[in-house]
Structure 1
Amino acid sequence: MTKRIAPRARFSASWAGGVIALISITSLVMGGVSANDPSGGAFAAPSRATEALSLLGQDPYTVSGGELNLEVSISSSLSEPTDNVVITAQSSVTNRAAFTRVVNGTNTGSVLDQVEIALTALPSPGGSARAISLTLGAAGALALPALSAPGVYPLTIALEQANGQVRESFTTFAVVVEGGLFASPVNNEPRLAVAWVWPLVAGPAELPNGSADPAVSAAALPTGRLGRQVSALSRHLDIPITISPGPETVTARNTSPLRSGLLAVAARAQVLAGPYVPVDIPSLIENLLSGIADNELATGNTALSEYFSSPPDIRTALANPVSPGALTLLRARGTTRVAISNSALVNGSRSVPTAPFSLKITPPAGVNETTISAVASDDGIANLLTGASPVLSGQLVLAALALNAYASEGAAKGTVLVNPFDLDIPEETFSTILNGLRNHPLLKPVTLESFFSEVPAVQTSTGALETRELTTYSPPAPPVKASALNATANRVLALQTFIGSDAREVRTANQWLLRAPSATFTEAAGQARARRSLKDAQARVTAALAQIEIPNPGTITLTSENGSIPLTFRNNLDQTVRVRISLASEKLSFPTGSTQELELPPANTTVRIPVQARTPGTFVLRLNVASSDGLLIIAVQEFKVRSTAVSTIGIILMIGAVVVLAAWWILDARARRKKRREKTAVAA
């Protein structure tokens, strides 16, 4: 049924004032404005309007027979006083496919009602804003009586010239419900549980030269991508939500503007653990880098625990992307439930709305099959966040959630909404949704933890827990070679064993290592930055080892056969370390062994190594200093040793030679005397 109303006969100045007053009251009750929301609720206008016609605010739902209040912006420079605003209601949508067709403008359904209002008759709360109030499901001065049954109705708002030509239009949805503010609308069943997960993460915040990444710094400002999200959340602390903060992102020095708001949000929200930087865990595992993947999760958990002064929830994880290997790793770290994208599931469209189910983890050959509790996020609704009009995008999300509530057909189900990783939208969109979720009769905002506990798991017709399977995911290669990542990881781990995991040098080297496989490092520029991150990690290890100073090369003099060589080491680290020294020389022997372990506390340590010279002269002594496990070579040095001592054997040989020589001389002298006597006797 099409109905056109002559608005001038119905709009008077007193009626306009009544609309403004009604909108003010409705925005307080239905928009749910609280002390945490100074913006004025769903009717807060954006700073400027760039379109001829745009949506500034709308009631998130309307009780059948009640008033639907809208506020639109109409540009005076793009309209004429003789223009009209035409509101057309179409038949309700009953499934996601029909909803999508309306949003895409390919099908708006049959027309149920239509109202035409002169532009000059619309009351203005100020500026370009115009207020509209319509009675739904009942007769009235401005009414859409056909919208009486509960449902989600497309509502097209058009700015038309006097000749009927449309200047501009947009389509929103009117959500009609039965009963009072807190009534259960669907056959007295519970409201649809809505778990909204906010990944608050960016790429690595520090550049290889040590300076802050300007893009991350900008994102953390109050007007930046992350700053706007934290601002919206901090003004709606009464709405249960789940955040997944990037550990490297929030702990970086250039993201400090986020801190106060984020701490306030975390005190009321569920905080999920996650990798230190955004990484593709399936890619790491497939490339035999599961140790680095585990390190990402462990370091991320530690960083968030220190930042928030309490540990994040490791039992619940946001797994995107996901693979059986990634799920196996998460289970090993204590995760018992995951949220995954519905596109990662076989027949993922079955997951709208969703409820917990059992997700099969297909193991390698020879390993028993396991499962994990899971829910599927609604990617279709998440895609609505990035529309061109901020408030309209928020209203579309609320309408899609309401449609899910009606589509659940009395079953206890819910919707998991996960913001895109790099979401960059105006704060008005977030505020529109958060205000709309407050006291909504169809929707119940919950944390992800509450979602798992409150929404019954899906069961088969036989009563068994429904088991779902993942689609095949082919991950990309890491941004740097796996061999380079493993080699650097081994050196960082060896340094950790050498000086302790809490050492500043170890933590810094590990952070550079973990930045290298960031999923944000794509294409040539990103891959070059990833390689530089690995070089920085290696450089940090080398710099830490350089804090162990070994004796300067020089000449050591031995004045006796058995002596000792003094070696002075200086440890400039804050920790006591154990080193292994190895000595080698062709002319020296080492009575206590050529390899020894030494304990080096901070500052200087002098040790004397017993030696025995095999021969006098000048020769080379080689000193090799390594970590106690031999995995890190700290230094290799050569010394000159001059021995002026004569050995005992040498002395014995010399004495023996003298004795032999003396005996020979005596015998020779006697022989000569005897010969002379014999010659004398013959002559006589």
Structure 2
Amino acid sequence: MALLALVGTSFTPLAPAASAQENPKLTFLSLPPFLNINTSAQVTFSLSGVAGYGGLEAFFLVYPIIPSRSTFQNISQGGGLGYPLLIGQPVPLQQLSNGGGSYTLPVDIASNSNSQGVPVLPNCQGGCDGIYPIAIRIVESSNSQVVVQRSVPLAILSGASINYPLDVTPIISLSPRASAGTFRDLVSVLNSNYNLSLSVAMDGKALGNLPGTTPDKQALLAVSNWSASPNHQLLVTSYLPILPGCLRGLSGPGSLKQQIASSPPPGKVASQGIQSPVFFVDNQPTPADLKALAGLGYSDVVLPDTSYPNGLPLTLTSPVGEVAGKSTALIADPGISADLRIRDSSLASTTAISDLGQVYFDLPNSQATRVVPLVFSVANATNVSELSKFLKKLALAPFLRTQTASYALTRTPVPNDRVGVELSKSHQCNLPSSLHKAQGALAALESTKPPLSVLAPIRVDLLSSEGTIYTKRERETLSKLAITGAIGAMDNFTIVKGQAITLTSKNASIPISLLSKLDYPITLVVSISSDKLSFSKGSSQQITMAHSSITASFLASTKSLGDFPLLVTVKTPSGLVLQSAILDVRSDSFSLVGIVLSSGSLLILIIWWIRSPKKRRGKVDQSEPVGETEEMVPSEDQETTHAALSDRPLGETE
């Protein structure tokens, strides 16, 4: 039975013995990052589903070296381990007890025969470095019946020199839903691993969740100091995860540019010769997303493991260039991502280190510059604890070396052959139908120059309405909240309407009063208009409403007497009309110009009427008298005239 149990085992537990309780489970509590030949190590574990530890023994087994990463992945998915190369000495479980249900088993491996009885790893004299499955097995001492077994891949090092370790780019992504406590814990982990080269992506929303307590401010200062180191980098992010291509063409509030401006700035990495910042893409992008980012100068990007190129081997050890025409991308390794998602945190971190070790041992001591990016997501305190375990083991592994994302993008050669990065063909943007109205309302509010404490929460609602972490319905609600908040932050005043404004002189001052219910100052524009008035100094004034009431005065000149309406409009400096009202104006005075013009017209009319009868009488005197006519006798002159006009020749008579 014992011999049969040695064959065909995998990383998964073996079937329990019939005498044990149902569903026995072995959980790793502490694992070393690797094993050194001729150096003792320890594995701590717990047992559940077992009826006490009486009559039980524990020992370790070493299975054959894993030859490639594809075999590593196959074993991780339940493939067989083969026959063990080495079996440790069984130890009564009672002797291993730490109390509280945990046990610690020594793991000693020798390269040569020895008098201490330490098991020897075969064929290790010429070098046996590599990744091996190591199993912990619990058996019944009476019949060697297997109760439970669990295995983990571990690097075994014989002491051979490692001159060219594998470059690893750990990218830590803080969830936008992370609490303030999670953020502070993460900062503590970063400072505890200060010597590691790390890149961190912090969405603006994650930092916006901070309540602003003294510990929060200290943590923010610590992040700022941390990012100033050349081997640390803050990646560029948006305020929260978005689809950049969906915001292409938007300007002002809610634009892609403002989404990015509302996130933490990139860290200082100038000493490494970085010419452009690196953008962390949360979602699997489309070509339009990458083009939108490149249009703003972000052509170096980190992509999630869902963008890993189809048809490539399991390991991509260089950036991918010419993505969507303009971008160069680091793509998170999907295998490491899967390792880090193992629920058993100690097993997860050790498996990830061993998986990276497998990449190294595929080409040990290779002088070629190779880099493996990985993304570690942090959303809660458990994730922070898992990250801490992983980074501590990463720091100890001599075959691995950490680098920042910018280092990987600028120092690692980009393949000449174009690699087909897995991009989404299109996105359902699902932007709120009221987004443009919300943009206009926020732009209007910004033009009034309110305090940041008033502006910030409304800006958060607008930016959040574009985030992919919310449903379409939630986005619509957030957009409408931005509209309501922006209008309410401005339109909280009254135009005073009293008795009619009376103008008693040709030039008079018209007072327009506003009563404010706001407890902060804002800038507004007051305008008046009437076709019965002219305004020599303008009909609009920009005012700052800093108190409960304010009066704007306009110098006006009347054009006519009587009562007429005056339109009063209050709007933002950007032009959004907030309120309007009609006031009554009564004018009791003409202007001098009006009097002169009217008097001149009247004088001309009077003169015309005075002269008009004389002209009529003159025409009557010059006409013929009515009565008997006289017979006209031609004079000598008349006769001469007629003779002169005769057709006869001179000297002739009748």
Band of TM-score, shorter chain: 0.7 to 0.9
Which residue is equivalent to 2:288? 325
Question: What is the alpha-carbon distance in structure 2 between the residues aligned to residue 569 and residue 578 of structure 1?
Answer: 11
Structure 1 counterpart of 2:386, from 415, 422, 429? 429
Deviation at 1:341, TM superposition (A): 2.8
CA contact (8 A) 2:378 2:384 kept: no
Matched, 1:510 2:484: no
Matched, 1:495 2:457: no
CA contact (8 A) 1:234 1:261 kept: no
Matched, 1:468 2:423: no
| Gap change, CA 1:578 and 1:298, over 3 Å in 2 | same
CA contact (8 A) 2:29 2:46 kept: yes
Trace 1:122-141 onto structure 2 (pairs within 5 A).
122-125=95-98, 127-136=100-109, 137-139=111-113, 141=117
Deviation at 1:323, TM superposition (A): 3.0
Deviation at 1:345, TM superposition (A): 4.4
Deviations 1:558-613 (A, max 9, x none): 235654422245787877846262x3445x13253875354547453532231314
Deviations 1:209-253 (A, max 9, x none): xxxxxxx5xx333xx5x5654444343333332211122212334
Question: Letter of the aligned partner of 2:107 in structure 1?
Answer: L
Question: What is the alpha-carbon distance in structure 1 between the residues aligned to residue 447 and residue 36 of structure 2?
Answer: 66
Structure 2 counterpart of 1:457, from 394, 413, 427? 413
Structure 2 counterpart of 1:63, from 33, 36, 41? 36
Larger radius of gyration: 2
| Gap change, CA 1:313 and 1:419, over 3 Å in 2 | farther
CA contact (8 A) 1:391 1:429 kept: yes
Which residue is equivalent to 2:613? none
Question: What is the alpha-carbon distance in structure 2 between the residues aligned to residue 290 and residue 650 of structure 1?
Answer: 55
Which residue is equivalent to 1:146? 122
Matched, 1:339 2:302: yes
| Gap change, CA 1:220 and 1:629, over 3 Å in 2 | closer
CA contact (8 A) 2:279 2:300 kept: yes
Question: What is the alpha-carbon distance in structure 1 between the residues aligned to residue 599 and residue 543 of structure 2?
Answer: 41
Which residue is equivalent to 1:277? 240
CA contact (8 A) 1:274 1:300 kept: yes
Structure 1 gaps, min length 5: 5-49, 204-215, 306-311, 363-369, 460-464, 664-684
CA contact (8 A) 1:342 1:351 kept: no
Which residue is equivalent to 2:639? none
Structure 2 counterpart of 1:611, from 538, 548, 557? 557
Trace 1:171-570 onto structure 2 (pairs within 5 A).
171-179=151-159, 183-184=161-162, 188=163, 190-203=164-177, 219-221=179-181, 226=183, 229-254=186-211, 260-261=218-219, 263-264=221-222, 267-268=225-226, 269-285=232-248, 292-301=255-264, 315-321=277-283, 322-347=285-310, 349-350=312-313, 352-362=315-325, 370=326, 372-408=327-363, 410=366, 411-420=368-377, 422=379, 425=382, 427-454=384-411, 456-459=412-415, 465-481=416-432, 483-499=433-449, 503-522=452-471, 527-546=472-491, 550-552=495-497, 554-560=499-505, 563-568=508-513
| Gap change, CA 1:339 and 1:497, over 3 Å in 2 | same
Deviation at 1:142, TM superposition (A): 3.9
Deviation at 1:442, TM superposition (A): 0.7
Deviation at 1:466, TM superposition (A): 4.3
TM-score normalised by L of structure 1? 0.72
CA contact (8 A) 2:252 2:258 kept: no
Question: What is the alpha-carbon distance in structure 2 between the residues aligned to residue 353 and residue 421 of structure 1?
Answer: 24
Which residue is equivalent to 1:117? 90
Which residue is equivalent to 2:571? 626
Question: Letter of the aligned partner of 2:263 in structure 1?
Answer: G
CA contact (8 A) 1:155 1:173 kept: yes
Higher helix share: 1
Question: Letter of the aligned partner of 2:435 in structure 1?
Answer: L
Which residue is equivalent to 2:74? 101
Deviation at 1:61, TM superposition (A): 1.6
Question: What is the alpha-carbon distance in structure 2 between the residues aligned to residue 470 and residue 289 of structure 1?
Answer: 32
Deviation at 1:472, TM superposition (A): 3.5
Structure 2 gaps, min length 5: 5-22, 227-231, 268-273, 611-654
Deviations 1:462-482 (A, max 9, x none): xxx44434334145434542x
Deviation at 1:159, TM superposition (A): 1.8
Question: What is the alpha-carbon distance in structure 2 between the residues aligned to residue 648 and residue 92 of structure 1?
Answer: 112
CA contact (8 A) 1:342 1:376 kept: yes
Question: What is the alpha-carbon distance in structure 2 between the residues aligned to residue 170 and residue 338 of structure 1?
Answer: 39
Question: Letter of the aligned partner of 1:405 in structure 2?
Answer: Y
CA contact (8 A) 2:59 2:105 kept: no
Question: What is the alpha-carbon distance in structure 1 between the residues aligned to residue 192 and residue 35 of structure 2?
Answer: 24
Which residue is equivalent to 1:638? 582
Percent identity, aligned pairs only, is: 17
Trace 1:9-24 onto structure 2 (pairs within 5 A).
none
Which residue is equivalent to 2:134? 155
SS of 2:88 mapped into structure 1? strand
Trace 1:20-59 onto structure 2 (pairs within 5 A).
52-59=25-32
What is the total number of aligned residue pairs between the two structures?
Answer: 565
Deviations 1:298-331 (A, max 9, x none): 12146x89xxxxxx99711212322333333333
Deviation at 1:292, TM superposition (A): 1.8
CA contact (8 A) 1:562 1:610 kept: yes
SS of 1:267 mapped into structure 2? helix
TM-score normalised by L of structure 2? 0.75
Question: What is the alpha-carbon distance in structure 2 between the residues aligned to residue 568 and residue 245 of structure 1?
Answer: 48
Question: What is the alpha-carbon distance in structure 2 between the residues aligned to residue 621 and residue 521 of structure 1?
Answer: 48
CA RMSD of aligned residues (A): 4.1
CA contact (8 A) 1:3 1:114 kept: no
Question: What is the alpha-carbon distance in structure 1 between the residues aligned to residue 377 and residue 384 of structure 2?
Answer: 15
Which residue is equivalent to 1:34? none
Deviations 1:31-73 (A, max 9, x none): xxxxxxxxxxxxxxxxxxx974221222212234443432223
CA contact (8 A) 1:385 1:425 kept: no
Deviation at 1:521, TM superposition (A): 0.6
Deviations 1:256-286 (A, max 9, x none): 5655456435533322221112223244449
Deviation at 1:402, TM superposition (A): 0.7
CA contact (8 A) 2:377 2:383 kept: no
Deviation at 1:401, TM superposition (A): 1.1
Deviation at 1:165, TM superposition (A): 3.7
Deviations 1:121-172 (A, max 9, x none): 7444554333323333444524252383111111222222344443332211
Question: Letter of the aligned partner of 2:180 in structure 1?
Answer: A
Question: What is the alpha-carbon distance in structure 2 between the residues aligned to residue 428 and residue 564 of structure 1?
Answer: 72
Question: What is the alpha-carbon distance in structure 2 between the residues aligned to residue 332 and residue 286 of structure 1?
Answer: 11
